[in-house]
Amino acid sequence: MPFGLVSAWNKRRRSKSQDQADPWVYKPVEFWQLEEDQTPQPTKRLHGSSVYTLKEMEEATCSFSDDNLLGKGGFGRVYRGTLRSGEVVAIKKMELPPFKEAEGEREFRVEVDILSRLDHPNLVSLIGYCADGKHRFLVYEYLPNGNLQDHLNGIREAKMHWPLRLKVALGAARGLAYLHSSSSVGIPIVHRDFKSTNVLLSEKFEAKISDFGLAKLMPEGQETFVTARVLGTFGYFDPEYTSTGKLTLQSDVYAFGVVLLELLTGRRAVDLNQGPMDQNLVLQVKHLLNDKKKLRKVIDPDMRRTSYTMDSIAMFANLASRCVRGESTERPSMVECIKELQLIIITNSKSLGMGMHSFKLM
């Protein structure tokens, strides 16, 4: 039963008196998948298998010092850390109020179980985890350039030029296409929380998708998953999913379209500082995307003018407008997005009369 981790784990947990005595006793991920009375089998896990103690997490982060703080999200704080091996990593610490702990535990297990089976240059690598008593930590490869949103409209000073934005869009598209293809683990996966803060950037600005806690497997014949509870982040929600509860791979394509719009405009997906009609990026710009004259008004004013051609901008805006269509069946697939982005990159570099690598990174 691939990935039936939560129910299988719970089933197993219920059957073990020791576990009943302490429901927080943690089983390594291999055991989450076991059916009753099965002998442990070697799993297909590629990485993410290192298990750490709380002490190791404390040592790695100088007791979670503020100097090592990288950021804070809905799950808790993320710290830069150095493991005993000398490897520099990012450590995410689960800090949830008691009423949210069960939900956090589920996300934690989904993240470990799914991410440790995936291996792609455009997905963040999970190095390991810590489940010491009630403490939960996820240990990832460290991405020195942080998240995409901070480069577009956050704390980072230098704004990204167009070829770099196209490179990030293509990398993220490849990561999502890999998730959607059944070749990754045999079953397509919907990420469900794709957004610019979950696109992390390496030293060379390779995009790496992170945060798989809300990911959902979509077995063959189940192209749609109907749920009563809609999960994700405001500004990126597929309208079809929010109105009917129907989750599809195309829900990620919608969120990808929103990130394309952030790359184009440098604006946030939701900006509460704007007037009531302009708070949602899609609603704000959707009607301008296929009009070349009006399109100029939405281009990020902080983007170097010499780095883009209007042709490539128009192609990109057109792709974004199709990704955010209301009807999920009218959106392109991630494979189609990759092909179009490759064409856009070529169009831009050819028209500017420069090789693909002529631009310095920043």
Ligand X SMILES: Nc1ncnc2c1ncn2[C@@H]1O[C@H](COP(=O)(O)OP(=O)(O)OP(=O)(O)O)[C@@H](O)[C@H]1O
Structure-token pair, residue 92: 């995410």
Residue 3 interface partner, choices Mg ion, ligand X, none, CB cut-off 5-8 Å depending on type: none
Q: Which of 193, 211, 238, 252 is catalytic?
A: 193
193 flagged as catalytic = yes
Residue 70 interface partner, choices ligand X, Mg ion, none, CB cut-off 5-8 Å depending on type: ligand X
Q: How far is Cα 357 from Cα 156, in angstroms, rounded to an integer?
A: 23
Least distance CB 131 / ligand X (angstroms): 18
Alpha helices in 181-326 (DSSP H): 239-244, 249-265, 281-285, 292-295, 310-323
Residue 22 CB-half CA count within 13 A: 8
Is residue 138 within 8 A of residue 111, CB to CB? The reply is yes
Least distance CB 293 / ligand X (angstroms): 36
* Positions that interact with Mg ion (CB under 5 A): 198, 211
Q: How far is Cα 338 from Cα 167, in angstroms, rounded to an integer?
A: 11
Is residue 212 within 8 A of residue 191, CB to CB? The reply is yes
Residue 161 interface partner, choices ligand X, Mg ion, none, CB cut-off 5-8 Å depending on type: none
When the beta carbons of 146 and 175 are compared against ligand X, the nearer one is: 146
* Positions that interact with ligand X (CB under 6 A): 70-75, 78, 90, 92, 124, 140, 142-143, 146-147, 197-198, 200, 210-211, 233
Q: Rounded to 10 degrees, what is the CA torsion of 114, 118, 124, 125?
A: 90
Least distance CB 197 / Mg ion (angstroms): 5
Give just the sign of the alpha carbon dihedral 299, 73, 142, 117: negative
Residue 122 interface partner, choices Mg ion, ligand X, none, CB cut-off 5-8 Å depending on type: none
When the beta carbons of 78 and 282 are compared against ligand X, the nearer one is: 78
93 in a labelled binding site = yes
Least distance CB 209 / ligand X (angstroms): 11
Q: How far is Cα 353 from Cα 362, in angstroms, rounded to an integer?
A: 19
What is the set of active-site residues? 193
Please enumerate, by residue number, every residue annotated as part of a binding site. Answer: 93
